[in-house]
Structure 1
Amino acid sequence: MDTLITLSPVELERLLITIESSQQVHRRHQYFLWSQGALQSFLPHDVLVFGHGEYGTPNFRCEVLARNNTWEDRALHAELNRLVQMMVENWQSSGHIPRFFGPASDEGGAGGSVIGQALDRLGLGHALAHGAKEFPGDCSGFFVFMRMADAPGRRHAYFAEMLMPYLHTTLHRMLQLEKEMPSRRLRPGLTLSTREAQVISLVRDGNTNQQIAKVLELSPLTVKNHVQNVLRKLEVANRAQAVAKAVKARLIGDTVGS
């Protein structure tokens, strides 16, 4: 018989905060902050991939929420898409229950060596995957928590099942708002400081924080703070989105070195 999952008073309070705060998520940057904040108490991860659209069709799309823009690389993103598709198939064939995946070097990881090898190759470590099976077509939602510090276990599966309704409804609330307002303008009068514009221009040119720090003679921490300020001002979740929005709003030029 399975051991009953119990929560401490502190965990119960955190769970309530996580559920309540999900109701305040409407935009992509808010989803990112929620996943990197309240949700970390129960499903700690560094990279979150969410899929939506009809399972097993070209309409099924994967998107990444992470602290950096590594996954904007098309080749990497294509490989990540293939990995998630394999996880979806594994999840479906296993009865739609949370699935654990580990690097190929770990014994006992679900999904076989193909998934494990892909996790190794992409440097994604341990992962937990779960979705909303009762919503067909475009209303589906699949979530993969990747680069978890430790191998996920029964408690992680329990929290994935408990929080799935909130992950799913919050995702589709965000997607629906994006569909209704695909080109929402910046707040009137919003500008970047000279230094922020310099930093995000160098990000556009493909520079890392360390490279930007060297060019501008700043510390990497100062550069990181400038990037975070830009993300917050532009209400975006990652560097690539910040560059796109800054270019569209003509806060910076649209070509390298401009």
Structure 2
Amino acid sequence: MKINEIKNNNPNNKIKHSTKIAAMTGSAIGVTTAVTLISRGHGVKIPSTLKHPNGLVNILKNIELKEKDVIAIASSSIAGGLAGGLITDKKNAKAKVKEGIVQLIGNYIVPTIAVGGGIKLNKALNKKYNFPPITRPIQFLFGMTSLIAGVVAGNKISREMNKQMFKEDHYRKLTWKDWAVQFDNVCLVTSISNAGTQLAKMASRFIPFAHLAPGYQVGVKQADLNINA
């Protein structure tokens, strides 16, 4: 079944305030939980309370996040945002699940794996051909090029997954929001290409906060709507 993308400006279909709050809360809980578990895995001591934002920031000062960490945080954010959104807006459950697949597969898993693969490719080429050199700028370039390719490929893969799961060929084209949420992967590229430096740790600090966006977008998603939340 071919479904065209629909724009619906009916004011009655505006996203409920309660859904926005629930989606953001769920996303925040998911991110905080993931960061806590990842930090423990890195051997970082977790404070008894994370009620104050500085608690999360202090944890992030001591770790450099890698590809698997980014995927874990994104997954938790999306799961939390989806759960929160469903609590107040069950009628759009299908649309939220479909958006969750786009966000997780298209915007995070595939692009993040591509980033790691691009930087490893730089090292492999240097080992075999002694070129290009392994420098921070070159590694950043490989990572960013791979990120762009990963976003495009991820969009196609997630579309095919939704097509197979829901028997709908609904073209979910890339939007500026999809590119905007890649800020976390830009930070990841910066962190990996500058491993062991203060810049790497500084870049890692921004990643969890950037991951609040995908969970929220999934939680507030509505069927066949193009609404600015």
* Bigger Rg, structure 1 or 2: 1
TM-score by length of 2: 0.26
Higher strand share: 1
TM-score by length of 1: 0.24
Higher helix share: 2
Higher relative contact order (CA 8 A, sep 6+): 2
